């Protein structure tokens, strides 16, 4: 090229860069991906610029007409905004800088100027934060940078890697046939989603801090974690069949490592995740936190009673399908374990009498409540005192001496006989009615079992708070279904970590995060291993006593390398 050609080949002014990119795309007919790579755009941004040009909304050359003399303030503000943006300042930082210079401009006005120049929005950061560096694109590591030490603001997440390896997450994800891209495998994409879930960042929060962490991409064998745009678009490509296949293989593996077995039965419950937007294609469900019916996504969870671990989730539900979800879970567990589930314990609103009849026909035991009808209460009130038997329940708190009355009943729509257990002296004005097809277990034990069903509500609350399950930003259930599936997987990883820590076996995700996972450090790459040095924290001695300094875990997706941990001396 002749001298001066670099002005056209390497444009620096935003408008010229857009012009040259569109010229290469339309005139030279260069493929969109190649043009985007050459000029620093994403492919979707390039297509958007092309659409704006076709619609006549792009203008690069203006007629030189006489105008007002002297400098114009708006032009000065624009130039200053672009100069600050060139130094990688965010919208809020630019607005603050202009205000300090005596030119108060709102952040929205700054964004309007940047948008007109074709510049993408940066996530907001606290004032005074260090400047951003050019983001690294997520790619599989072709060659590991041996001898390099990288800072890692989220080094605590590496503590979950032994659990991920024990569960064999790479193999589970691959066997579930999740979609992949030309650059990232299904494990890379779904693993990035899982890390975001384990980091306890809300769905509406910006994923930039994880993607910009230079040491975190190595956890998945990547140069960096994918951007939020990829995570969002990828989740819409995931089908329910892949989530079910993943949950099935995860449940089998969790049973093999002793995380849960299902022998003690399951607690089942619905949870409505409220949507905060407008005009979304969602049905209305009752949201307890709002005490009202509102548009939301209805999700279903199943919890192993003995371990209190979540084993199943489904957010791809409609009102017409929700009554049959109990049977759907029974079929799911039979595929997982080869046999029907144990005792299913659920609220009276979960399903219908027709479903109870089908459970009886299949020999699946259940325990649920019966609504208090007027005639039933009158019949119970007419019973003599001798018809009620007193029992002592081994539990803490009040109401440990309930009175029970049992009888065999028949319900409309249920051909099989059922056992009704009326319970009083437990703090309610009217007796509580339990119905079941379990005729072998003692009545007092069934009452105690149903009282323990409240555990699922406590665990759901812990997951809602710990994994931001209520931070719904999508109007489509398919996206949320992946979120609930990841909640189950993240909870299992957290629990496997907790089992290795003395006195933390039953700790909530929030507590595990605050004490151990929310930590910084550095990642050093050697020829045959990667060492993660964690910063000294108050609870670091717990990790040392748990044997983490001696760990040498071979990571399947690291090409034969192993994971080791380093800790400052006590």
Domain count, the chain: 3
404 assigned to some structural domain: yes
511-554 pLDDT, tens per residue? 999 999 999 999 999 999 999 999 998 999 999 999 999 999 99
CB-side neighbour CA atoms (13 Å) of 512: 31
Locus of tokens 């303030």: 73
> How far apart (Å, rounded) are the C-alpha atoms in residues 10 and 166?
49
Looking at the structure, do residues 23 and 87 belong to the same domain, yes or no?
no
Q: Decide which of 427, 452, 477 is a domain's last residue.
A: 452
pLDDT at 483: 85
pLDDT at 455: 64
Whether residue 470 has pLDDT greater than 70: no
Residue 187: which region, alpha, beta or left (left: phi > 0; alpha: psi -120 to 50)? alpha
In tens, the pLDDT along 324-336 reads: 899 999 999 999 9
Q: Indicate whether 419 belongs to any domain.
A: yes
Same domain, 428 and 352: yes
Q: What is the mean pLDDT of residues 16-31?
A: 87
d(CA 136, CA 212): 8
Q: What is the 3-state secondary structure (H, E, C) of 273-321?
A: EECCCCCCCCCEEEECCCCEEEEEEEEEEEEECCCCCEEEEECCCCHHH
Q: Are residues 396 and 442 in the same domain?
A: yes
Helices (H) and strands (E) in the chain, counts: 22, 15
Is 428 a domain residue?
Answer: yes
Asked if residue 522 lies in contact with residue 142, where contact means CB atoms within 8 angstroms, the answer is no
What per-residue confidence (pLDDT) applies to 278? 47
Residue 292 has pLDDT above 50, yes or no: no
Residue 281 has pLDDT above 80, yes or no: no
- Higher-pLDDT residue of 120 and 326 is 326
Q: What is the pLDDT of residue 204?
A: 42
| Range in 161-175, 192-206, 223-237, 522-536 with the lowest mean pLDDT | 192-206
Quote the pTM value.
0.71
Task: For residue 231, name the pLDDT band (cuts at 50, 70, 90).
Answer: confident
From 400, 417, 452, give the residue that closes a domain.
452
Does a structural domain hold residue 267? Answer: no
95 with 25, same domain: the answer is no
Q: Are residues 15 and 86 in the same domain?
A: no
Enter the tokens of residue 319. Answer: 């009102």
Closest C-alpha to 435, from 375, 334, 360, 333: 360
| More confident of the two residues 405 and 115 | 405
On whether both 418 and 385 belong to a single domain, the answer is yes
Mean pLDDT to the nearest integer, 410-428? 91
Lowest mean pLDDT among 6-10, 60-64, 112-116, 560-564: 60-64
Identify the pLDDT of residue 282: 43
Strand-pair category, 521-525 with 149-152? antiparallel
Of 312, 272, 358, nearest to 492 by C-alpha is: 312
- Domain, as residue range, for 366: 347-452
Contacts of residue 433, defined as CB under 8 A and 6 or more positions apart, other chains included, come to 369, 370, 371, 372, 376, 420, 421, 422, 423
Answer yes or no: is 208 within a domain: no
* Same domain membership, residue 49 and residue 77: no
């Amino acid at each position: 090229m002749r001298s001066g050609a670099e002005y056209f080949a390497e444009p620096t002014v935003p408008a010229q860069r857009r012009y040259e990119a569109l010229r290469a795309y339309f005139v030279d007919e260069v493929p969109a991906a190649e043009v985007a790579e050459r000029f620093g755009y994403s492919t979707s941004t390039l297509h958007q610029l092309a659409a704006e040009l076709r619609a006549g909304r792009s203008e690069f050359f203006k007629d030189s007409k006489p105008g007002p003399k002297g400098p114009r303030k708006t032009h000065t503000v624009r130039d200053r905004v672009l100069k600050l943006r060139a130094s990688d300042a965010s919208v809020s930082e630019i607005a603050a800088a202009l205000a300090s210079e005596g030119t108060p401009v709102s952040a929205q006005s700054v964004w309007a100027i940047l948008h007109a120049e074709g510049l993408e929005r940066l996530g907001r950061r606290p004032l005074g934060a260090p400047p951003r560096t050019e983001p690294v694109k997520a790619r599989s590591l072709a060659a590991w940078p041996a001898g390099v030490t990288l800072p890692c603001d989220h080094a605590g997440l590496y503590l979950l890697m032994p659990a991920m390896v024990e569960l064999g997450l790479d193999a589970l994800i691959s066997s579930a046939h999740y979609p992949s891209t030309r650059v990232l495998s299904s494990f890379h994409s779904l693993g990035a989603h899982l890390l975001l879930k384990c980091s306890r960042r809300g769905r509406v929060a910006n994923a930039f801090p994880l993607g910009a962490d230079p040491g975190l991409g190595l956890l998945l064998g990547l140069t960096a974690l994918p951007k939020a745009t990829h995570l969002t678009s990828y989740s819409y490509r995931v089908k329910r069949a892949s989530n079910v296949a993943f949950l099935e293989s995860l449940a089998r593996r969790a049973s093999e490592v002793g995380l849960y077995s299902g022998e003690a039965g399951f607690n089942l419950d619905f949870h409505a995740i409220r949507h905060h937007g407008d005009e979304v294609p969602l049905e209305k469900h009752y949201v307890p936190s709002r005490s009202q019916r509102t548009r939301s996504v209805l999700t279903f969870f199943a919890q192993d009673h003995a371990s209190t671990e979540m084993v199943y989730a489904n957010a791809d539900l409609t009102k017409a399908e929700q009554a049959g979800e109990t049977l759907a879970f029974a079929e799911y567990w039979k595929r997982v374990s080869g046999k029907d589930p144990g005792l299913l314990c659920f609220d009276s609103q979960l399903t219908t009498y027709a479903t109870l009849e089908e459970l009886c026909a299949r020999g699946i035991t259940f325990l649920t409540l019966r609504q208090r009808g007027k005639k039933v209460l009158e019949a119970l009130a007419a019973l003599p005192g001798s018809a009620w038997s007193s029992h002592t329940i081994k539990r803490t708190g009040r109401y440990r001496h309930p009175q029970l009355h049992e009888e065999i009943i028949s319900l409309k729509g249920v051909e099989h006989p059922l056992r009704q257990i009326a319970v009083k002296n437990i703090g309610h004005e009217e007796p509580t009615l339990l119905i079941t097809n379990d005729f072998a277990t003692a009545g007092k034990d069934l009452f105690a079992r149903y009282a323990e069903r409240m555990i699922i509500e406590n665990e759901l609350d812990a997951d809602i708070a710990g994994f931001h399950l209520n931070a719904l930003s999508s109007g489509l259930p398919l996206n949320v279904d992946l979120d609930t599936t990841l909640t189950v997987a993240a909870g299992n990883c957290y629990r496997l970590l907790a089992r290795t820590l003395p006195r933390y076996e039953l700790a909530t995700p929030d507590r595990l995060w605050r004490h151990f996972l929310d930590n910084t450090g550095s990642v050093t790459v050697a020829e045959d291993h990667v060492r993660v040095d964690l910063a000294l924290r108050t609870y670091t001695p717990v990790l040392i006593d748990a044997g983490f300094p001696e760990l040498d875990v071979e990571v399947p997706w690291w090409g034969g390398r192993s994971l080791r941990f380093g800790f400052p001396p006590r």
